Amino acid sequence: MDNPYVPLLFFMTLGLLFAAGSVGAGQLIGPKKANAAKAMPYECGLQPSPKAEEGGRVPIKYYLTAMLFIIFDVESLFLFPFAVAFNQLGLFALVEMVLFVITVFVAYAYVWRRGGLNWD
């Protein structure tokens, strides 16, 4: 009798070996010289602000942008399977999706109120 977990174990092991191999190859092959450009903080291709170089606080816009990405990424992750199987799920799934969308909207309203959508 075949164990149904053997393929799962195989792919998990393969994924871990690939991750460890990639990190190891980067350490072996990658450049070892440190320079001033590598030591500078990176702010989306712009010149870093003086606060970032001094180790100061990072503006909240960075966190709000990340939060927006995660919110809408997770929302699309859950809404796509729901849309595909809508006919088979019934009223309970519809109510659950409405509650989920309301929860996502609350997070969206929070980001909007904090100024995360203002790109000055």
Given a cut of 60, is residue 85 above it in pLDDT?
yes
Average pLDDT of the residues in 76-102 = 87
Q: Which residue has the higher pLDDT, 1 or 24?
A: 24
Name the more confident of 11 and 53: 11
The terminus-to-terminus CA distance of the chain in angstroms comes to: 63
Higher pLDDT, 43 or 95: 95
Domain map of the chain by residue range?
57-113
- At 54 the pLDDT is 60
In angstroms, the CA 61 to CA 75 distance is 21
Question: Are 100 and 78 in contact, with CB atoms under 8 Å apart?
Answer: yes
Extract the tokens encoding 93: 């799934």
Helix (H) or strand (E) holding 53: helix 50-53
Asked if residue 88 has pLDDT above 80, the reply is yes
The tens digit of pLDDT for each residue in 17-76 reads 999 999 999 999 987 887 777 776 666 666 656 665 566 666 667 777 787 888 788 888
pTM of the predicted model as reported, rounded to 2 decimal places: 0.46
In the predicted structure, residue 16 carries a pLDDT above the cut 80 = yes
pLDDT value of residue 72: 83
Residues 23-50 as b/e (b if ≥16 CB within 10 A, e otherwise) read eeeeeeeeeeeeeeeeeeeeeeeeeeee
